[in-house]
Amino acid sequence: MSANLTLLDRALILAQHELEAMRNGDVESAESHFHERTELMRQAADTLDEETSEDYRVKLIALQGYNQLIHEEGRELLEQIRSQLVSARSTIRGVKGYARARLLQ
């Protein structure tokens, strides 16, 4: 197996870990996996050869699928955070209103 395919195999494993980290809400770990995966893909591109181009293409398509899943997971996580912020703002308003009412008594 050529060096670039080994690098892409490692990138696929990192993509799996990145997706799992996103699903667990561990954004810092996902970001770390992302940067490492990006570097592996850059290295693989630098070592591309004609003999493995079809295998390379198949692995890149698999990575593209992971990218889509990670992107969707990121959107869901962002929506959860937005929802939590709206809820927190509402709670804070209620607490402030309650505190004002207690001060007026």
Domain positions in the chain: 3-104
Whole-number pLDDT of residue 5: 79
Beta-carbon contacts of residue 34 (< 8 Å; ≥ 6 apart): 18, 70
How far apart (Å, rounded) are the C-alpha atoms in residues 34 and 55? Answer: 22
CA geometry: angle at 71 spanning 49 and 73, to 5°? 130
| pLDDT tens figures, 45-99 | 888 777 777 888 899 999 999 999 999 999 999 999 899 998 888 888 877 777 7
Mean pLDDT in residue range 28-51: 89
Instruction: Answer yes or no: are the C-beta atoms of 33 and 16 closer than 8 Å.
Output: no
Whole-number pLDDT of residue 11: 95
Type of residue numbered 82: R
In this structure, which long-range contacts are made by residues 23-29, counting pairs with CB atoms below 8 Å and at least 24 apart in sequence? 23/73, 25/77, 27/77
Give the confidence band of 1 by pLDDT, cuts at 50, 70, 90.
low
